[in-house]
Chain A
Amino acid sequence: MSGWFLRSAAAITTVILLSLNTVATGKEASVILEMPTGDSAEAAYWAGEPDMPAVLIQHGFLQTHHFPTVRRLALALADSGFTVLTPTLTLGIDRRTASLPCEAVHTHTMEQTRQEIALWVDWLHTRTGQEPVVIGHSAGSINLLAYLTDSARHTVAHAIFISVTYFGHGEAAFDSPEHAARAHAALARGDIGLAEYALDFCRQYVTTPAAYLSYYDWDKQRTDRAFQSSSAPSTLIAGSADARIDLEWIKTLRRHGVEVHIVDGANHFFDQFHEFDLLDEIEQVLQEDLTQ
């Protein structure tokens, strides 16, 4: 843990902030941050009003911060005066700017993802002096959840999970116990080489057994436990027409004190007219946080 901290500190010192001092309020800027793996990650940053909450929006599985759902939401929040940061996970690629195909070589792990999110949350906290609100979309919600679960001293003020789903065997993903068993077997025999697995919506996900299992382990039960144990206030927003999520499962999360908002008719990406519904939902949450 101390090693990671040192690396994080070193990383912070090497943050490349592109003219942030000169970034005007509401204007988009690029933030590059060197990750513990040595790769640099890039994020879009909008400096908001000083009295407005800072928001970190995390993209979904293998996507970037340019993903439309993320991008639309970031722009809308920035326009509303929120400070917004939308980092892109490196997934083992320096300054990754494009979504990573399933068939590409995936050496990244949930742990590395969690560390990158931690760096970005810390950076935002440091930058704004506020406890940011983190918003995750799809699998990005799991990444945030992993961060929140493993970071007892996190500085997150509120966590919003949009279209949250989980890895592992489930209704909406291709993950299968057989693949997990194959990964475990490979690990057991010391085979750390690449192999094709099914993960989330990827049928041919090329990765190492350990990396695969690092995501696969975040199945419905673990996710459910994570919500249950999360110290940050959490709000779940899901579309009633989202076929990629286990909507019934989401509804069950209310028992863990999680606020669940179901947007009627919205799909997984809240596109078309539902982006405003999504924005309204989020602004409502943020406004409530601001009020508190």
Chain B
Amino acid sequence: MIPWRTPSITLYALLLAAVALVTLASFGLYTWHKVDQLRDEVYVSGYEAARQELANALGHVRKDAALQASRFARWEEVRQQLGTPHYYGYWKNHRMHQAGILADRVLDTQIYDHQGVALPDSPTVSLPARLELPPPAPRAVQGDAEPLLLIIEPIPAPDAAEPPRGYVALQSRFLDALREGHVYHYIDPESIRFDLGEQETILAGELLRHAQFDLRPNPLADQVEALLWGAVINLGGILGLITLILFATLVYLIVRPLRAIAGHIDRLRESAGSLVLERAGGLLPIAETEKIRASLNSYQARLQDVHSSLEAKNREFWRIAHHDALTGVRNRRAFDEYWDTLPRLAARHTYPVCFALFDINHFKAINDSYGHQTGDAVLQSVARSIDEVMREGEHLFRIGGDEFAAILLDCDESGAQRLGERCQERIRATDFTQYGVREPIKISIGLAVAPGNDAPAMLALQWQADVAMYKAKRPGSSPVVLFTPELEKDTQSLYSNWINNAVYEAITRGTGIRMAYQPVVALNEHHSSYVEALLRIEHQGEIIGPADIFPVVEARHLEVDLDRAVLTRILGDLRASLIPPGVGISINLSGPTIVNAGLTQWLEAFVPFLQDRPIILEVTETALITEIGLATENLQRLRQQGFLVALDDFGSGYSSIRYLASMPVDTVKFDISLIRSLDVPDQHHIVEGLVQMIRDVGYTTVAEGIETAEQLSRVCALKFDFAQGYHLGHPAPVSQGLPPVLQAHAGISRM
């Protein structure tokens, strides 16, 4: 099917002109036809009039001939010839024609007696010697050069009652009389002729049927026709000229402006939109088109204003969206976009690309010690110092709380090393005491370099820089570490590519997540044992544990995504009743998840299960401290819904009692390091006192890392509420069934 394309105004204008011209031509043809018809009618009318004229003339000729014959027949000398025919020949030759009775056109005559017998001594070549009686009607006979009229007239007796005394026959030319004796208006008299055909004689009354003639030129009709044609031609010419003028006017007034406007719109579409529809020769000739042009320009001007405003706002939005509000450097979004474009950008060149990671050492402690305002000032100062080291066109990105990154083009290993050193020098030169910070601020720098046209190597840059950063943060290591293959071997177990892939797939697709449940055994009759859900990732038959998972997750800042994937899997196990009612479950949540505004919504699906079991949300001390305000708000709302909150790994970090008091926590899980301290002389008292204090305050306590019976006895003696460790049960998938210690608690919802 041919696609329909809207015709242009030019086509319509041409179509209009064509229609006008076709109409004009049709009018001309119609007029021509009518004039031709009129000419035919005039000819027919003239021909009929001519026939009537000829009929009248023939009637007169016949009448004249009859009168001639009658006068001749009544001539007394004719009667004298009948009485004394002895001198008929003399009389005919010497007297008859000289008497003036007969016209010159009478070619021959004959006198017959009452029996139709010609008088003697009367030479004649064409008239019969004897008549048939009664005599025939007047006839036309074929003459030598022209038809002749033959009339036979009875010679009347003096007494009308008597029979005719005889007869006279007159044969005469009549064509001359026909031509010259009448005034013809329609017939050219010289053209009158008769064609008797094969007949020698016809009745005189039939002459008209054998007549042929030419019509006189009709000057009036010709003049009328010429005038008519002239009028038609003039009218056609005028109409044609008017049509062309209208077409040209249409083109000038409408088509040209519309085409100019359409062309302008096309150019606008193809250009940046800064064109202005010029006024060719002033205003457009039509008010409407001028209004369209003015409206278009006005609209375009307003559009440009809006466009400019939007561009400014876009630039501002882009700047806001791509810059960190605190430090002013570019943010994680800008980093991700730039990183996405980097392979295409670098592929065009062969120069090396350097990826640098910057991390402030012990920044959380600084925040804790000097407050967020000081921490923010430190972040701003560090960012400004590093940014000042960047070359023109190079950007610094804040990709995490105290993590920064930079991508340097045309920067090889030595250049990367020099960059790191300059950054360190600039940080060292920065006076942080102005913010009240007394300790020196140090940063760790992980560097990685890859050829710009080596796409796989480019994709490994981040991971390599992470490895280098990991190395730089190790005690005793240089704060500036450039990734090398040897360094990769040291951290292969943690940062192998397949682990990365497995973690990514687990988070993004939910594949490979396998929850293992470790029993948390109640140590008194006031509580019921429950299980802690622990993450495992199965990839190609290998099980990846938390020690390999979380460095990757934290390095990629994928904590929230991972937590949501884990929550989904646990919810599936609950809905599948793999964890029987009465058996509580403890779920680990990362710091970013706790402070996420969507946490309450994500956990709404767990609320129905709170009816028959406790659900404990385990958070780390570090996670709570990072943004304690938002975290407290979220956790309080969840506690109101029935969830319990446990502070995990207490004793592994700062373990601030001040923080603990302000945290919305129901349970404190003592880190394995504190449990192990019970076996260390001089330290077990502190732990015992701490346990006593926390328990007395009202927190439920959990001893982690119980690996021996002795440790279990100790924690029991210290009146821990729960104990957890390999001695009591290893983490295991629910497919293997609940540990025996929990089976007795199934159906009990006490904590």
Contacts and interface: CB of A to CB of B under 8 A. Distances in A.
Contacts of A42: 158
A103 B158 contact: no
Interface string A89-123: 00011111110110111010000000000000000
A177 to B, nearest CB: 25
Nearest to B94: A206
A39 interface: yes
B87 interface: yes
Contacts of A94: 79-80, 83, 158
Contacts of B95: 103-105, 206
A41 to B, nearest CB: 11
Contact of B80 (A93, A193, A194): A93
B83 A96 contact: no
Interface in B71-103: 76-77, 79-80, 83-84, 86-87, 90-91, 94-95, 98-99
A104 B84 CA distance: 13
Contacts of B86: 107
Contacts of B94: 103, 206
A40 interface: yes
A107 B99 contact: no
Contacts of A39: 83
Given A92-B80, A93-B83, A94-B158, A103 B90 contact: no
A39 B79 CA distance: 10
A43 B710 CA distance: 204
Given A92-B83, A97-B76, A194 B99 contact: no
B558 to A, nearest CB: 159
A40 B90 contact: no
A92 B84 CA distance: 8
B79 A93 contact: yes
Contacts of B90: 105, 193-194, 206
B96 to A, nearest CB: 10
B76 A105 contact: no
A38 B165 CA distance: 14
A100 B95 CA distance: 12
A95 B94 CA distance: 23
Contacts of B87: 105, 107, 193-194
Nearest to B81: A105
A105 B93 CA distance: 12
Interface in A67-108: 92-98, 100-101, 103-105, 107
B419 to A, nearest CB: 164
Instruction: Give the dominant DSSP class at B's interface.
Output: helix
Nearest to B75: A98
A40 B157 CA distance: 11
Chain B, interface residues (CB within 8 Å), range: 10 to 19
A98 B76 contact: yes
A105 B80 CA distance: 9
Contacts of A105: 77, 80, 84, 87, 90-91, 95
Contacts of A100: 76-77
A42 B91 CA distance: 25
Nearest to B165: A94
Given A94-B158, A95-B158, A194-B87, A104 B98 contact: no
A103 B101 CA distance: 13
A96 B76 contact: yes
Contact of B158 (A40, A92, A194, A206): A40
A23 B481 CA distance: 184
Interface in B148-192: 158
A98 B77 CA distance: 10
Contacts of A93: 76-77, 79-80, 83
B72 to A, nearest CB: 14
Nearest to B76: A93
A107 B158 CA distance: 20
A100 B94 CA distance: 15
Contacts of B77: 93, 100, 104-105
A206 B94 CA distance: 10
Tell which of B80, B91, B94 has the most Cβ of chain A within 10 Å: B80
A193 B86 CA distance: 9
Interface string A27-51: 0000010000011101000000000
Contact of B99 (A32, A38, A103): A103
Nearest to B88: A105
A194 B95 CA distance: 12
B204 to A, nearest CB: 29
Contacts of A96: 76
Contacts of B158: 32, 40, 42, 94-95, 97
A174 to B, nearest CB: 19
A38 B80 CA distance: 12
B122 to A, nearest CB: 14
Contacts of B80: 92-94, 104-105
30 contacts: A32-B158, A38-B83, A39-B83, A40-B158, A92-B80, A92-B83, A92-B84, A93-B79, A93-B80, A93-B83, A94-B158, A96-B76, A97-B76, A97-B158, A100-B77, A101-B99, A103-B95, A103-B99, A104-B77, A104-B80, A104-B91, A104-B99, A105-B84, A105-B87, A105-B91, A105-B95, A107-B87, A193-B87, A194-B90, A206-B90
Given A38-B83, A39-B83, A97-B158, 18 more contacts: A40-B158, A92-B80, A93-B80, A94-B80, A94-B158, A96-B76, A101-B99, A103-B99, A104-B80, A104-B91, A104-B95, A105-B87, A105-B95, A107-B84, A193-B87, A194-B87, A194-B90, A206-B90
- 10 residue pairs, one from A and one from B, having the closest CB atoms: A95-B158, A93-B80, A93-B76, A105-B87, A105-B91, A194-B90, A194-B87, A104-B77, A94-B83, A107-B84
